[in-house]
Amino acid sequence: MQWLTIPVEVKGKYTQRVRDVVVSEPAWARTHWRTLLHQYAAAPHFRELKPAVEGWYDAVADMKHLTEINEYFLRAICGVLEIPTTIARSSDYALAEGRASAARLCVQTGAKDILVGPAARAYLDEKLFQDAGIAVRWMEYDGYPEYPQLHPPFEHGVTVLDLLFNTGASARSFMKIGMTHARA
């Protein structure tokens, strides 16, 4: 397994806003694509998805801000997986600075609950959300079915591209949104 990261400018920018994070190495997209090509060329559905995914990397290669790149990939992947979730930027909302901003964002969007990754347990103040009437649900990564991967043993902690390249059109059946026994 190999991590794919997008290098960003950090020197002297530790307090910058997420939307201001700038990519530091313009060739990152080409490097990512070559890695994916090398790792997945033999995957059962790589050939059918190659034009789309390579197109995504071409489309973001000249983008300067990490948030723009992330949003592009999120929209593209949601499109392929037919996930209708609305994607919005927090900058589209009136938020005050400080720790309660995430809870206020949930209120402004009309959210009744928030799904949070397990790493946030170290810093998320659940009371801020509870006080705002927002239920906090913690993401669980268990309960997903295994699918055939190129390089056994099965590894859950991989990119969604692994799922797509290995399962193609049946990818949704391996996701909780596509599983009939998914927990709420």
Per-residue confidence (pLDDT) for residue 100, from 0 to 100: 57
Give kind and range of the element (H or E) at residue 33: helix 28-40
Per-residue confidence (pLDDT) for residue 96, from 0 to 100: 59
Q: Is the pLDDT assigned to residue 173 strictly greater than 60?
A: yes
Compute the average pLDDT of residues 169-180: 76
Per-residue confidence (pLDDT) for residue 177, from 0 to 100: 63
125/152 Cα distance (integer angstroms): 38
Tell me: the pLDDT tens digits for 40-53? 999 999 999 999 99
108/97 Cα distance (integer angstroms): 15
Compute the average pLDDT of residues 116-128: 90
**Across the chain, what does the average pLDDT equal?**
88
pTM of the predicted structure, to 2 decimals: 0.84
Range among 32-46, 88-102, 142-156, 168-182 with highest mean pLDDT value: 32-46
112/129 Cα distance (integer angstroms): 10
Check if the beta carbon of residue 67 is closer than 8 Å to that of residue 39. no
Compute the average pLDDT of residues 131-150: 89
Ordered by start, the domain boundaries in the chain are 18-86+142-174, 90-138
Token pair, residue 150, equals 């190129």
Tell me whether residue 114 is exposed, middle or buried, using C-beta atoms within 10 angstroms of its C-beta: 0 to 12, 13 to 18, 19 or more: buried
Compute the average pLDDT of residues 62-90: 93
Lowest mean pLDDT across 5-9, 117-121, 169-173? 117-121
Per-residue confidence (pLDDT) for residue 99, from 0 to 100: 55
Per-residue confidence (pLDDT) for residue 98, from 0 to 100: 57
Q: Which of the pair, 184 or 103, is modelled with greater confidence? A: 103
Q: Apex CA 157: angle with CA 116 and CA 4, to 5°?
A: 100
Q: Is the C-alpha dihedral spanning 59, 63, 69, 71 positive or negative? A: negative
Q: Which residue has the tokens 């002297």?
A: 12
* pLDDT band of 114, cuts 50, 70, 90: very high
Percent of the chain scoring above 90 in pLDDT: 60
